[in-house]
């Protein structure tokens, strides 16, 4: 597993899984945490328990039904799996906020006092449409947050159509710098840069992580764009 390297307060714990250390067989080998990708449900159940135990979590992670939207769910207690949202926020100790990814950007947030935490699933649609901004609105002082960017697809591997670039630039002309011209009218998009721009626009300058590539690091991470049928990692954060 990956422990974020960021100056989170002592009472805030965070972790990100890799594809290693679980029970699933190919093409989900091996720590697949996604129950919606066609894997054996019992293996997923064992993997989720393994993840919880390895990270010494105080409770089960909250498993959202992610729909590439912009809803952030406020958690006051653990909820049943399957609630539609692409981010979750909590002030309650012992509640584990989590999101699943396999190329999209997982973003973890906390305030400097360690009293508020959030996990965000930022695919390009959610990122473009305001999932980061919607989540930050729930914090008492959004500009007082620190952020960690977890494993996502890198710019070299993330080819998108011109409509994606146009949508980001329509929101903010600065987004032009996050795209490199590709082949046949396509563009290479930098999810990490796009997320940093949105965070900085919200007044957040303490931004860490962003050094991974799920597509290229095939031994460590699942990648939907690389493999199609594959598993999911999870990024989680909680207050002790």
| pLDDT tens digits, 130-179 | 999 999 999 999 999 999 999 999 999 999 999 999 999 999 999 999 99
Q: What integer pLDDT is reported at residue 185 of this predicted model?
A: 94
- Strands 233-239 and 207-209, bridge-based pairing: unpaired
Could you tell me which of 12, 69, 37, 25 has the C-alpha nearest to residue 233?
37
Task: Give the CA radius of gyration of the chain.
Answer: 17
CA–CA distances in Å: residue 66 to residues 82, 83, 162, 222: 8, 8, 25, 17
Q: Which domains does the chain carry?
A: 12-153+203-239 (3.60.140.10)
Local confidence pLDDT in tens for the 240 residues of the chain: 999 999 999 999 999 999 999 999 999 999 999 999 999 999 999 999 999 999 999 999 999 999 999 999 999 987 767 789 999 999 999 999 999 999 999 999 999 999 999 999 999 999 999 999 999 999 999 999 999 999 999 999 999 999 999 999 999 999 999 999 999 999 999 999 999 999 999 999 999 999 999 999 999 999 999 999 999 999 999 999
Q: What integer pLDDT is reported at residue 134 of this predicted model?
A: 98
Q: What integer pLDDT is reported at residue 80 of this predicted model?
A: 67
- Cβ atoms within 10 Å of 92's Cβ, excluding its own: 15
Strand-by-strand arrangement of the 12-16 sheet: 12-16, 233-239, 97-101
Q: What integer pLDDT is reported at residue 82 of this predicted model?
A: 75
Q: What integer pLDDT is reported at residue 55 of this predicted model?
A: 97
Q: What integer pLDDT is reported at residue 78 of this predicted model?
A: 75
Could you tell me which of 221, 227, 183, 187 has the C-alpha nearest to residue 106?
221
Q: What is the largest CA-CA distance in the chain?
A: 50
Q: What integer pLDDT is reported at residue 77 of this predicted model?
A: 83
| Cα–Cα distance for residue pair 207/201, rounded to 1 Å | 12
């Amino acid at each position: 597993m990956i422990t974020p390297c960021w100056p989170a307060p002592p009472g805030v714990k965070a972790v990100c899984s890799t594809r290693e250390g679980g029970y699933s067989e190919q093409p989900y080998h091996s720590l697949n945490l996604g129950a919606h990708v066609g894997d054996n449900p019992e293996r997923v159940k064992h993997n989720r328990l393994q993840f919880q135990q390895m990270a010494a979590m105080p409770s089960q992670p909250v498993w959202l039904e992610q729909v590439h939207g912009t809803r952030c769910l406020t958690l006051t207690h653990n909820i049943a799996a399957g609630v539609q949202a692409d981010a979750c926020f909590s002030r309650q100790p012992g509640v584990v906020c989590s999101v699943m990814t396999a190329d999209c950007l997982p973003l973890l947030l906390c305030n400097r006092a360690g009293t508020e935490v959030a996990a965000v699933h930022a695919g390009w649609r959610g990122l473009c449409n305001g999932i980061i901004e919607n989540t930050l609105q729930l914090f008492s002082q959004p500009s007082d947050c620190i952020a960690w960017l977890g494993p996502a697809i890198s710019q070299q591997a993330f080819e998108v159509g011109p409509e994606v670039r146009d949508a980001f630039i329509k929101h903010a002309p600065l987004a032009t710098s996050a795209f490199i011209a590709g082949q046949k009218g396509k563009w290479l998009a930098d999810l990490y840069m796009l997320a940093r721009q949105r965070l900085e626009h919200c007044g957040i300058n303490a931004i860490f992580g962003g050094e991974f590539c799920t597509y290229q690091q095939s031994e460590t991470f699942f990648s939907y764009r690389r493999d199609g049928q594959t598993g999911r990692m999870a990024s989680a954060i909680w207050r002790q």
